[in-house]
Amino acid sequence: MKLLTHNLLSSHVPGLRPGGGFPLRIELGRPSELPPEPSPGYEADEEFLRRLHHVLLEVEVLEGSLQCPDSGRRFPISRGVPNLLLSEDEA
């Protein structure tokens, strides 16, 4: 799972507040290599763009999980594929 994909995913556990369930927390040991916010003028910052491109498109999570920030529900990532299926009781 690439970071780009993570950016598209949200938790759809029922009963969340509007806009809830996003962003999912990636549970991994590694700290982010990027600053928390892009600095102004980042479009022209070649170095930053390179690191951004790398993190967004070239780094893959193979094993781990995504945690819903509101419900705490964990969605596993296995062999690079995140599983966001809810069980029949949950849905």
Partner 1 sequence: SGPRPVSPRSPAPSRPRSSKMSAAEPGWFFCTAGRGLEPFLAREVRARLGATEVDCVSGKVFFRAAAGPGKLRQLRSGERLFLLLKKHSPLPVSGNRGKMLHEIKSLVIEDPKYWLDIISVWRKLHGHDGKTDDGSIENALALKRKSEEETNTASKRQKTEQVRAIVSEECQVGAGETCEAPARMSRQECWAESRTCSELPSRGSGEDPAANEELGFSFRVSCRCSGAIARILTSQEVGRALGTALVKQCGWRADLRDPDLEIFVHLNDIHSVVGIPLFRLPLANREYIRTAGLRSTVAWAMASLAEIRAGALVLDPMCGLGTILLEAAKEWPEAWYWGADISDSQLEGADGNIRAAGLVDKIELLKVSVTALPLPSESFDSVISDIPFGKKFKTMSDAQLLPDLLQEMERVLRVGGTLVLLLSQELHRRVDGLTRSAGGGPAEAPAQAMDGLTRCAGGDPAEASDSRAAPSVDGNSSSLAQRGGEAILSRHFGSLLPEGVYAVSLGKTDAFIHKYRKVSGTGSS
Sheet-wide strand order for 74-78:
25-27, 64-67, 74-78
Contact 71, 13 (CB under 8 A): yes
When asked if residue 49 is in the footprint of partner 1 (CB under 8 A), the reply is no
Least CB distance from residue 43 to partner 1, whole Å?
Answer: 16
When asked if residue 17 is in the footprint of partner 1 (CB under 8 A), the reply is no
Least CB distance from residue 8 to partner 1, whole Å?
Answer: 5
Least CB distance from residue 88 to partner 1, whole Å?
Answer: 9
